[in-house]
Amino acid sequence: MDDPQSQLEMTSCANDKYETIQNKLDTLVTKIKVRVSEDQANKLDWLQNTWLSVAKAHCTWIKDLYGRGSVGPMQYNACMSEQVRDRINDLRLLLCEGYGMTGECSASKEYENL
């Protein structure tokens, strides 16, 4: 939706953006897990679950600031998109040589400026 007008359309648009960026995070995590040991992959799964719980709690708190109004779900989705974007930025260099110690690489650049 290029130009949402109603609250329902804006909420739907925010949800679509969240789902799109969440899919990018899921793909990134899968790519990282291929590069690390099984033990580290299991730890990353645990960390992702923990991170997701905190992100959801934070965004629920943001949504609740708006009471029971119709803007709350849109704010939740926008918040989750921002949380996921930040998480991608935290993880993307792990795709590079030395897990990012040598800087950016083509694989990490795929995830910049989302």
% residues pLDDT > 90 (the chain): 72
**Cβ burial 35-68 (10 Å sphere, 16+ → b, else e):** eeeeeebeebeeebeebbeebeeebeebbeeeee
What band does 8 get if pLDDT is binned at 50, 70 and 90? confident
From CA 44, how far away is CA 109, in angstroms rounded? 21
Average of pLDDT values for 8-35? 90
Q: Which domains are delineated in the chain?
A: 7-109 (1.20.1270.180)
Higher local confidence (pLDDT), 79 or 69: 79
User: Quick count: other Cβ atoms within 10 Å of Cβ 21?
Assistant: 19
CB 51 within 8 A of CB 72: no
pTM: 0.88
Please give the residue that has the higher pLDDT: either 14 or 74: 74
Quick one: pLDDT band at residue 69, thresholds 50, 70, 90? confident
Mean pLDDT of 59-78: 91
Q: Looking at this protein, which amino acid is placed at residue 110?
A: E
Distance between CA atoms of residues 91 and 108, nearest Å:
9
Confidence of residue 34 (pLDDT cuts 50, 70, 90): very high
Type of residue numbered 70: S
